[in-house]
Amino acid sequence: MTVSLKPSHLKRYKDIAVLLVKYGRGDLATRLDVEGELSPGIAASPAGDKPRAEELARDLERLGPTFVKVGQLLSTRADVLPIAYLEALARLQDDVLPFPFAEVERIVNEELGVRISKAFAEFEATPLAAASLGQVHRAILRDGRAVAVKVQRPGIREQIVEDLAAFTEIAQLLDRHAESGRLYQFEKMVDEFRKTLLRELDYRQEAQNLLTLRENLKEFRRLAVPAPVEDYTTSRVLTMDFVFGRKITSLSPLERLETDGAALAEELHQAYLKQILIDGFFHADPHPGNVFLAEDGRLTLLDLGMVGRISPSMQENLLKLLLAISAGHGDEAAERASEIGEKLDTFDEQEFRRQVSELVGVYQHAKVEEIRIGRVVLEVARAAGDAGIRVPSELTTLGKTLLHLDEVGRTLDPTFDPNASVRRNAAQLMQRRMAKSASPANLYAGLLEAKDFVEKLPGRVNKVLDIVANNQLRVDVDAVDERMLIDGLHKIANRIALGLILAALIVGAAMLMEIPTSFRILGYPGLAILFFLAAAFGGVALVLSILVSDRRPPERKRKR
């Protein structure tokens, strides 16, 4: 199957090719030089001389919103990029110039069906923040409720869809013509990016995420999630409670002293462990810019466009992995990580176990201020990819989330130990996992499966008995080949018998040496010499037979 490259995408092809050449993928980029030349002044970097990860982040910001979002999503792929690049991309900021207020008015009017002046008592023209997908304005509803209104940037959906089409074509080209494409499956990766970005562009989905997270975190009294205003929310406009507070990164030293940072960091960490390992639904982008300290002293989580979902079986595996890492059990961590991913033909289990044991060992002896559990999870995912395991996105998303969480925890409390927090909450996590498994829904599902098993059991038993009665039962056994075993035993018996004969010849020759006789060879009794020569020739023949025929054992054939 051939991949067609569209002339309308030439600029994006060139941008992607430049990135591949500049950041160490020149072997792939040579296939993508669709215009005959790359950007002036940019040449393939020599091996081992890669540009800094921060430079890649700046280049992605310069290329526009699609590249920024793809960069942020790539920050969850520890199996593709080194850790330094993951950390730089995880901190990607998409601050851009705001679009005119006239466009804001037009979009809000179209989406809400009424004029801004009728829907809101006040609506500030100057945005609080502007990003690549949209910008946020402060407003007040007619009932006096202070809200933040996020308005989607005009034409952004069409631009992202067009850019992703170019990404898909390049991914198809790499998957068919590059070894790395067959390993990482770039087309599948771009498809995941598309689904994630289109969900993020639908503000109704983000409003639902806010409601879900508010419900899941209601037990944590130090945490808050703004409530959406459903009547003022559409696919391109999101209205939610306004948070009176400040980013935790902008707190002054005095404000930090007045804040109970240790308690906030611990409760935030507990909340994320619950989200990831119990609920299976979590805020996937908790970098410090998305965490506000409200005036009432609570931490408020913002920007729920990017969330993660984890299946119950994956939650079990991730919990076991985190507990193994926090306890310093490198072999167990390697075992759990290998169970999470898909093992390829090139999987090197011994090397993978060695790397993970070394990572966990170094982490276990680190100082408190150096501990980064998110970084360790990403390192484990990276080692898995290098060793030949196709890592699921859930593992690397978890690593990125914990990496952000470590940074937030350190900002609130420089002495916060995420490792100790995992151990402190281990018992509660296990208890809640067990309680969730014993929920009425799971019990009913188990009863239905048991009912299905009991209903089908008589028919299955009758079928087995009919096969046995008709002498049609066949068992495939992949065990010892009896013919090979008998041949081997014959060979051993023959060699033992030959060895005994040779030994008897040597003993007999030694005894004949003492008997006087006129038949002599070289002055020795002739019969004794003949026995010695026969034993010598037989011994040499036996040695040659062992060396030649036993060097490579015959292949075992499967018997039925």
Write b or e for each residue in 122-137: b if 16 or more Cβ atoms lie within 10 A of its Cβ, otherwise e: ebeeebeebbbbbbbb
The token pair that represents 379 in the structure block: 């390192």
Residue by residue, DSSP assigns 273-327 as: HHIIIIISEEES---GGGEEEETTS-EEE---SSEEE--HHHHHHHHHHHHHHHH
β pairing state of 129-130 and 120-123: unpaired
The token pair that represents 235 in the structure block: 């696919």
Instruction: Determine the Cα–Cα distance for residues 551 and 560; give it in Å rounded to an integer.
Output: 28
The helix (H) or strand (E) run that includes residue 27 is helix 26-29
59 assigned to active site: no
If one counts every other C-beta atom within 10 angstroms of the C-beta of residue 13, the result is 21
Q: Please give the C-alpha separations between residue 275 and each of 150, 236, 279, in angstroms, as whole numbers.
A: 25, 27, 5
The token pair that represents 149 in the structure block: 């209104």
Residue with tokens 């590249």: 67
Contact 128, 136 (CB under 8 A): yes
**Angle at CA of residue 332, ends 330 and 333, nearest 5°:** 60
Write b or e for each residue in 199-218: b if 16 or more Cβ atoms lie within 10 A of its Cβ, otherwise e: ebbbbebbbbbbeebbebbe
Secondary structure (3-state) at 394: helix
Of these residues, 79, 285, 406, 413, which one is catalytic? Answer: 285
Give me the active site residues, please: 285
